[in-house]
Amino acid sequence: MAAVAFLAHQTGAEAAHAQLEAWLTHPDVTVRTEAVDLYGRLHVQELGRLEETPRAVLKRIAYTEPAFPPRFLARRWLHVAGVPVRVEPPDGVYAFKASLGRASRTVEPRATQSLPEQASAILSAFGWGVDHLYEFALTEDLRFILPDPDDEAAGVDWGFDEDDEQEKPEVPD
């Protein structure tokens, strides 16, 4: 699928564009998810602009797609392009099952909560603090890691200072 998107990008081949668009309505949600991500990458230009036709396609997916991952990615690409996307449903609540090993919790965030707010709710449900990275995985290859450890504005205390010289324990011979 990535090769078809690359071909569409490099050559503008109509057949490649048509195939990528056909995958947007594929019966398998995994195929639709990957197709939406590639479609967004192909059409959202460097300065965040999005032409009228791809904008309409992504809006259709963002508002009518029944599966969460492709709908989420369509909304993400619209956001990257600066297109406002209304929350659907605005008063809605989503139920997620968060799990780690055999431990699991059901968390029900509001539709208006951001990923960091949802992550906080999940961490609270387990009784954990925010002292480490966490990620949301839509597919094997599509992961959102928060907070970004390179983003000083995130305000997370990682528990170490890179400038501090720390004594290393001696290792016996």
pLDDT in tens, 73-119: 999 899 889 999 887 776 778 777 888 788 888 888 887 887 778 88
pLDDT for 100:
78
Question: Stretch 35-45: mean pLDDT, rounded?
Answer: 91
Residues 6+ apart with CB under 8 A from 82: 48
Over residues 112-130, the pLDDT tens digits come to 887 778 888 888 888 877 6
Percent of the chain with pLDDT over 70: 77
pLDDT of residue 168: 42
Quickly state the pLDDT bin for 70 (edges 50, 70, 90): very high
Amino acid at 80: V
- C-alpha angle with apex 155: 154 to 157, nearest 5 degrees? 120
Q: How far is 126 from 42, CA to CA, in rounded Å?
A: 39
Residue ranges covered by each domain of the chain: 2-80, 96-152
**CA–CA separation, 96 vs 38, rounded Å?**
26
